[in-house]
Structure formats: C-alpha cells, structure tokens
C-alpha cells in the first residue's frame, strides 16, 4: 500500500526521494508527492498517476533542499487527487508530513479542529495530524509530537518536517512499518527496506511507540514517555540486484525463475546436508514441546493462507497434530470457544511474506491475548509480525517485488514441510531413516523446479492458444484443491480473467452448470490416493465441452484432447509445489497475452497494511 521515504544530509534530497519512491512502486499506489525544506518554505511537487509523472513535474520545476520527504498514496480517505496526495501541511505551511496507515478517530479530531476555525484542503485522515501538530505546537516538534500521538487512534508511520528544524526528520510509528538507514553524513527513512538497498544496508528498525529524531549525523530514539531509548542498528543481507529486474521483462517472471535458488537457500538454512538432519537451533519446538503439542491454528491472508492450508495437510498427515488454517480477517473476529480460553498445548502460527498484513497481525495479537504461544513465518526481518511473535521462522525468499506472490509462497510451503517432518520425528511418527529420506526428497526440489522452468515455452504456447478463454476453473482434491485455490488466485490477480477453484468432487453440486465449450478446466492431480477420482471428474467436464488441462501425474489412459503438464518422481508432499510452478507460469503468460500490468495489477497493493 502507501510508501514513505525521507532524507536528511548535505546533498540534494530529490534524487533519493524519487528513486526511493520508484523502489516502492510495487506496493501499489495511485498518486505520489515530495516536499523539501527550502529557505523560503516547502517546495512541493505532486502527481496523480505514476512516479514518472511526478519525475516530469520535478524536471519541469526542479527543487533544491537537503532535507525532504516523499510518499506514494493508495487511496483510502478520498479519491486519488492532488489535494489528497501527500505530503500534507498545516494551514501556515510550517509543518509537512507523510503518513502510512489509518487514523481511526480522524473524523472526531477534524470536527474539533474545524470548531477552532481550522480549514482543510483534503479529505484525508493524514491532514488532520498536520493540523493537530500546528494547533498544539509547543517548544519544539518532539514535545509536540509526544502530545499529539496520545490523541491518535489507529495505525501509523509518520515522517514530519518542521521548518523550525530544517535539517530534521521526526518519525513515529505505531503498527505500521518504518526503517531508518544510516548513510555517510546522511540518514534515510523509508517504509520498506527496498527503498534503501541502493544506498545503505545499515538500518535501524524502530519499534512500535518509538519516536525518532533524525538529523544528517544521528538518529535518537525516544519512547512515548519522552525518555531516550537505545536501539541497535542491523545489517540487511538483501542485495540491490535482488530488487531489480535483471533482464527479465517483469519481476513476476524473475521471481518465479528465482525459485530453485530461494528454495535451495531456505533448505540450506534449515537442513544440514552433511548428514540430512534438521538444524535444531532454527526450529520452534523442543522435543518436549513437540510432544505436548495438541493443536495448531494457522492464520494468514491470500496466498499465505493457501500456504497455511498446505501446512494443515502436511502437519496433520506427517505429525498427527490437529491443525486449522484460518483466513486471518475471519479469525480475528471469530467467537472464542471455550477450548481457546485454556490454550495449554494450543499453538498459533501467523504466515506472512511482508510480516505487515494488518489482519494477520491482528490475528496474532488475538492469539497472544488468549495466552497462546505465537509463532510466525515471515520473509522480512524485523517486520511487525516477526517482532510480535514469540518465535519466528524466516523464509529466505529475498525481496518479493511483484504484487503476485510466487517465491514467497513456495518457501512458506517448504517451511511447513520442514516443520511437519520435524514434529513428526520428535513425536515418534517417523524414524531417523524416514526423516533423512524425506529431507533428501526436499533437496531434489531446486532441480525439479528448474526442469519445469526450462520448459516454460510450452506453458507460454498454451497460454497463447487459449487466450480467448474467459472462464477458467481449477479443480483438485485435498492438497490439489489447495493448489487449485492458489492457481486461480494467481491467474485472476494478474490476468483479470474469471477463474475459480473447486474441490473436484463438488463440481456436480452446482458449478458444473457453468461448464461449456468456452471453459477451460485445469485439473491438479498429484495426490495418488484420489487420482482416479479427479480423472473421472475431468471426463465429466469434457463431456460438457470444456477444454482440458492436467497438471500432475499423467493418466495411464490418456484423455483425448487433454493437455498434460507432467509431474513425475515426486511424492504427495512435494508434487503440489511443482504443480504450483506450472500454474504460476500459466498465470504469468496468460496475463502477458492480455497485455496486463503484471507486476502492479489494478486495485491491488503488495502489502495490505489496513483492514
């Protein structure tokens, strides 16, 4: 969603602000703006639309200044317009600020300010904060900020400029991410580390409730009590090239093609290939805890939820632990049943690529309030979900820029494979030998994924041949149904085609009425015990005129007219990962056929930090 950047140093801030905003484009936005402190006031440039338009504005009317802020806005309060675009100001233009998140009590605060005669130029919740700071200004911005933060309800990351302190950025965060980068005689601020990678990898990760006073030479942290707080800077291992296209037309294709590498990296982190054992120091359960585990609740959104559904199947089948996979936005409001009030042996697990998804974070907080131990899978070190969880397992996918999640999904499922095998082993469900064999099987994944990627021209040809198809159903049973859900989501988000997933056996309870000769039905069929059943369902839709695609085990008796993308030599627990790679490529090439904005699909944001 929205993106924030800020710079204070001895050189012009403009270049970093524009480049930083470009690096945050992937998060989704509809307008962008920057402001810099100049001798005669704030210089401001804004544009509705893409960063390139903002860049053109700046080229037409260059701005100077060594301290500035910038923002990409994803409209919530008020339509995309120059008035609503950040930065926002107080009436006298003494204060400029950018904001991510939502000020929930903004209407009430706005009404109070209007009674005092303050007038507003935008419909945003953000402008209320700028006006509040001006009305309550006392001594200096830090003191004022402490006072005003106490009036705000909701989530926010704020970066503020005060003309009285022209080289200082005032930052505050509550439930919305912010990082501060340390440069040579300068400091950078951003809502996401991707904006900083070209400039520094030495960063502070402010915590909730922190205020940071950032000048070219220092960053000083304070708590809401006004007392100084010690924060340690860390080094981010992601490199610049990880956040660039490197010759690929789109980040989505680049990230699909990175999967052999990120799967290998994640395997190397969790598995010692010298003796095929799991590295205990990276696992969340001790042998004792594993034995005492009675129930696991997984909560996540979108693709991460689908990874959670895979996790449920893997953990139940391998380790025999009852597991629920919940959509986080539902879980957070669900009735708390008696069992959850006594969470002995009941563990919660949040799954999130960004580690910032608002609903997943709220679900994690609810579980903690109920007294559950809270685990998390996160791809981003220091993200809110990672910090608030009791124990984190990191996916080593590197920065995922395309809005459509691909490599993060595969690494999340891989983490579930490792966790399920570890629990199974610790609970005595599988022997040392069985564990080693399964880990060796996982180690084959990078090679197997690569061999699918090497055949991607076949998928591209199929997407071209079927470009006229407007309804696409994915069907499957058990884990194949989960892969169907993920395949349908991927396809619809990047190609805007109508696609749905159904449990294969459920079709004839209604949905089969939609099948005709203009429909493509893609069956995912990797699970040996129900293969024949899914094949029968394919015959049923074929009889009603559908085009057929099968991703999985090739049938012994070929189905006439059915295209097959084969998965061979993979057991039930790794075959779904391989099927997903085909589905990702299909979504990508179909979107290409339709000329869609693949990396930044309409209406979508990479990181959904509001409810």
Binding site for ligand M6R (CB under 6 A): 301-304, 352-354, 357, 360, 403-405, 493, 607-608
Kindly state the tokens that stand for 354. 């960004």
Report how far apart, in Å, the C-alpha atoms of 311 and of each of 8, 461, 477, 482 are.
45, 33, 15, 10
The span from the CA of 294 to the CA of 284, in Å, is 15
Comparison of 100 and 607: residue with beta carbon closer to ligand M6R? 607
Q: Could you tell me how far CA 118 lies from the centroid of its own chain?
A: 38
User: Which among 159, 163, 175 has a CA at the least distance from the CA of 126?
Assistant: 159
Comparison of 219 and 353: residue with beta carbon closer to ligand M6R? 353
Report how far apart, in Å, the C-alpha atoms of 566 and of each of 535, 556, 561 are.
14, 12, 15
Kindly state the smallest distance separating residue 176's Cβ from ligand M6R, in Å.
14
Kindly state the smallest distance separating residue 493's Cβ from ligand M6R, in Å.
6
Comparison of 354 and 466: residue with beta carbon closer to ligand M6R? 354
The span from the CA of 330 to the CA of 197, in Å, is 35
Degrees to nearest 5, angle at CA 476 with 470 and 479: 130
Report how far apart, in Å, the C-alpha atoms of 323 and of each of 308, 349, 359 are.
10, 10, 20
The residue nearest ligand M6R at its CB is: 302
Query: Which class for 396: exposed (0-12), middle (13-18), buried (19 or more C-beta within 10 A)?
Result: buried
Longest dimension (CA), the chain: 82
Kindly state the smallest distance separating residue 386's Cβ from ligand M6R, in Å.
11
Instruction: Give the DSSP H/E element, type plus range, for residue 349.
Output: strand 346-352
Kindly state the smallest distance separating residue 565's Cβ from ligand M6R, in Å.
21
Kindly state the smallest distance separating residue 81's Cβ from ligand M6R, in Å.
26
What DSSP designation does 437 have?
Answer: H
Comparison of 250 and 425: residue with beta carbon closer to ligand M6R? 250
Kindly state the smallest distance separating residue 404's Cβ from ligand M6R, in Å.
4
Q: Which of 46, 312, 407, 606 is catalytic?
A: 606
Comparison of 44 and 350: residue with beta carbon closer to ligand M6R? 350
Kindly state the smallest distance separating residue 357's Cβ from ligand M6R, in Å.
3
Kindly state the smallest distance separating residue 605's Cβ from ligand M6R, in Å.
8
Q: Is 13 noted as a catalytic residue in this protein?
A: no
- The helix, strand and coil proportions of the chain, stated in percent and rounded to the nearest 5, come to 40, 25, 35
Q: Is 606 noted as a catalytic residue in this protein?
A: yes
Comparison of 208 and 434: residue with beta carbon closer to ligand M6R? 208
Q: Could you tell me how far CA 323 lies from the centroid of its own chain?
A: 23
Quickly list DSSP for 307-343: HHHHHHHHIIIII--EEEEEEHHHHTTSPPPHHHHS-
The span from the CA of 198 to the CA of 55, in Å, is 19
18 in helix, strand or coil?
Answer: helix
Comparison of 14 and 358: residue with beta carbon closer to ligand M6R? 358
Comparison of 214 and 376: residue with beta carbon closer to ligand M6R? 376
Comparison of 303 and 484: residue with beta carbon closer to ligand M6R? 303
User: Which among 523, 416, 429 has a CA at the least distance from the CA of 473?
Assistant: 523
Positive/negative CA dihedral, 268, 270, 272, 277: negative
Residues 6+ apart with CB under 8 A from 86: 2, 33, 71, 73, 97, 98, 99, 124, 126
What DSSP designation does 336 have?
Answer: P
Helix (H) and strand (E) counts in the chain: 20, 27
Q: Which of 2, 14, 186, 562 is catalytic?
A: 2
Kindly state the smallest distance separating residue 363's Cβ from ligand M6R, in Å.
11
User: Which among 212, 88, 55, 87 has a CA at the least distance from the CA of 145?
Assistant: 212
Kindly state the smallest distance separating residue 301's Cβ from ligand M6R, in Å.
4
Residue 166's Cβ-side half-sphere holds a number of Cα atoms within 13 Å equal to: 12
The span from the CA of 44 to the CA of 601, in Å, is 28
Comparison of 214 and 414: residue with beta carbon closer to ligand M6R? 414
Kindly state the smallest distance separating residue 45's Cβ from ligand M6R, in Å.
30
Whether residue 233 contacts residue 382, with contact meaning beta carbons closer than 8 Å, is answered with no
Cβ-based neighbour number of residue 49 at 10 Å = 12
Comparison of 439 and 596: residue with beta carbon closer to ligand M6R? 596
Report how far apart, in Å, the C-alpha atoms of 544 and of each of 173, 515, 518 are.
56, 6, 10
For the annotated catalytic residues, the residue numbers are: 2, 606
């Amino acid at each position: 969603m929205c993106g924030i950047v800020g710079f204070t140093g001895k050189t012009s801030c403009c270049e970093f602000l524009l480049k930083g905003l470009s690096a945050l484009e992937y998060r989704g936005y509809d307008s962008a703006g920057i402001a810099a402190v100049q001798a005669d006031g704030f210089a401001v440039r804004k544009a509705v639309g893409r960063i390139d338009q903002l860049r053109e504005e700046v080229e037409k009317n260059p701005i100077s200044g060594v301290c500035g802020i910038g923002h990409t806005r994803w409209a919530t309060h008020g339509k995309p317009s120059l008035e609503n675009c950040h930065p926002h100001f107080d009436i006298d233009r003494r204060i400029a600020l950018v904001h991510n998140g939502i000020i929930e009590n903004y209407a009430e605060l706005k009404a109070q300010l209007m009674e005092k005669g303050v007038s507003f130029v935008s419909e945003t919740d953000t402008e209320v904060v700028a006006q509040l700071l001006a009305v309550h200004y006392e001594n200096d911005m830090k003191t004022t900020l402490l006072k005003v933060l106490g009036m705000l309800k909701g989530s926010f990351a704020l970066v503020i400029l005060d003309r009285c302190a022209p080289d200082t950025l005032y930052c505050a965060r509550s439930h919305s991410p912010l990082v501060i980068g340390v440069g040579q005689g300068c400091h950078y601020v951003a809502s996401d580390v991707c904006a900083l990678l070209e400039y520094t990898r030495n960063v502070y990760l402010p915590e909730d409730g922190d205020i940071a006073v950032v000048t070219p030479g220092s960053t000083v942290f304070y708590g809401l009590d006004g007392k100084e707080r010690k924060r340690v800077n860390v080094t981010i291992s992601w490199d610049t090239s990880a956040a660039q296209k490197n010759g690929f037309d789109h980040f989505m294709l680049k990230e699909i093609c990175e999967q052999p590498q990120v799967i290998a990296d994640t395997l190397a982190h969790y598995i010692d290939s010298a003796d095929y054992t799991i590295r205990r120091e990276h696992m969340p359960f001790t042998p004792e805890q594993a034995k005492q585990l009675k129930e696991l609740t997984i909560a996540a959104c979108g693709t991460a939820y689908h990874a959670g559904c895979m996790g449920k199947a893997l953990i139940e089948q391998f380790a025999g632990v009852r597991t629920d996979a919940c959509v986080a936005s539902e879980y957070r409001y669900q009735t708390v049943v008696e069992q959850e009030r006594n969470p002995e042996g009941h563990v919660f697990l949040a799954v999130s690529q960004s580690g910032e998804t608002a609903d997943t974070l709220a679900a994690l907080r609810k579980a903690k309030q109920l007294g559950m131990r809270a685990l998390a899978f996160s791809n981003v070190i220091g993200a809110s979900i990672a910090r608030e969880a009791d124990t984190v397992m990191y996916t080593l996918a590197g920065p995922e820029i395309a809005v459509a999640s691909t490599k993060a999904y595969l690494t999340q499922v891989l983490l579930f494979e490792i966790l399920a095998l570890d629990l199974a082993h610790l609970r005595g469900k599988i022997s040392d030998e069985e564990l080693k064999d399964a880990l060796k099987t996982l180690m084959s994944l990078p090679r197997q994924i690569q061999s699918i990627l090497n055949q991607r021209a076949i998928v591209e040809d199929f997407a071209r041949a079927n470009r006229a198809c407007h309804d696409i159903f994915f069907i499957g049973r058990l884990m194949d149904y989960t892969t169907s859900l993920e395949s349908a989501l991927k396809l619809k988000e990047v190609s805007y085609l109508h696609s749905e997933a159904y449990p294969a056996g459920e079709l004839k309870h209604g949905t089969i009425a939609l099948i005709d000769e203009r429909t493509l039905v893609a069956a995912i069929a990797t699970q040996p015990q129900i293969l024949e059943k899914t094949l029968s369902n394919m015959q049923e839709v074929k009889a009603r005129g559908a085009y057929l695609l099968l991703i999985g085990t090739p049938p012994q008796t070929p189905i006439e007219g059915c295209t097959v993308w084969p998965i061979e030599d993979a057991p039930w627990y790794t075959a779904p990962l391989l099927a997903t790679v085909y589905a990702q490529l299909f979504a990508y090439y179909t979107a290409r056929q339709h000329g869609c904005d693949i990396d930044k699909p309409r209406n979508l944001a990479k990181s959904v930090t509001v409810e």
